[in-house]
Amino acid sequence: MTQRPQTQSGEPAWSQDNLSNPHLVDDKAKRVEAMFNAIADSYDLNNRVHSLWRDQAWRRTAVNMANVDSNCDVLDVACGTGDLSMAFADAGVKSVTGVDFTYNMLAVANHKLDQCKGLKPTYFQGDAMKLPIEDNSMDVVSIAFGIRNVARPEVAMAEFYRVLKPGGRLIVLEFSLPRNKLLLAGYNFYFRHIMPRTATWIARDKSGAYKYLPQSVNTFIGREQMREMFDGCGFTDFTQKVLTCGIALVYRGIKQ
């Protein structure tokens, strides 16, 4: 069952008053939901433009790291407009289920189902921290650019572990910071000063989404802390793959 977004008050979801560290804001989940409902229609276009059309290649790498086959059941959490779900469907898996708590993003995902040449993902509205999925039922759980937006990532990771079958793979695709100092300087200038303006203009956004994006990346956990979270939830065989000079990473862990 899906719930339509409530009418917004007119105030932005994110402003300078709550952006020093958005991960510490008490009502982060509510603000993230309002933000994505506001930008859903232009989300794909902004992803393509501001990743220089690399974001779909990153998703294909994530699918490749999942080692899927025709017997795999895939759960794509924070599926958004369905790009990663569709990439898994194109890989020839048995089933793809996408879950997201944002109504407008799911509406876009469902609208795109006509683009699927074969298997069509199934989408439903739900919370990454409380998945209505049976224990030990999924071969792969994926989340692309979403773990950073969850109110309590460690709770979501424990849920991912719960629903995976033994031997199942967790795939996390997320933004990161380049470690080369020169690249980092250029990245920060683009991410903090250019992208927020152009993305906001494309989306006609008043939610503050593209002010939140760079700040949420800069204040989120790093690579070492991500591994600690995987380990803390019981995942083994941790692997990470650096994408496009460290702008994004794919992390993989396996359920024992």
Query: Is residue 208 assigned to a domain?
Result: no
The CA distance from 10 to 20, in Å, is 22
SS3 annotation, 213-250: HHHHHHCCCCHHHHHHHHHHCCEEEEEEEEEHHHCEEE
DSSP conformation class of 251: E
Q: Are 81 and 144 in contact (CB under 8 A)?
A: no
Residue 89: its pLDDT value, please? 98
User: At 34, which CATH number?
Assistant: 3.40.50.150
Going by C-alpha positions, the residue among 122, 126, 138, 131 that lies closest to residue 156 is 131
Residue 11: its pLDDT value, please? 78
The structure tokens listed for 104 are: 């407008």
Query: Is residue 190 assigned to a domain?
Result: no
Query: Is residue 228 assigned to a domain?
Result: yes
Can you give the residue range of the structural domain that contains 247? 25-177+220-255
Residue 37: its pLDDT value, please? 97
Q: What are phi and psi of 190, to 5 degrees?
A: -65, -45
For residue 104, the SS3 value is helix
Query: Is residue 243 assigned to a domain?
Result: yes
pTM for the full predicted model: 0.95
Going by C-alpha positions, the residue among 9, 15, 248, 3 that lies closest to residue 126 is 3
Residue 1: its pLDDT value, please? 46
Question: Domains in the chain: how many in total?
Answer: 1
Residue with tokens 């982060």: 28
Mean pLDDT per segment of 10 residues, for the chain of length 256 residues?
A: 55 90 96 97 98 97 99 99 98 98 98 95 98 98 98 98 99 97 96 97 97 97 98 98 98 98
Query: Is residue 12 assigned to a domain?
Result: no
Residue 2: its pLDDT value, please? 58
Query: Is residue 187 assigned to a domain?
Result: no
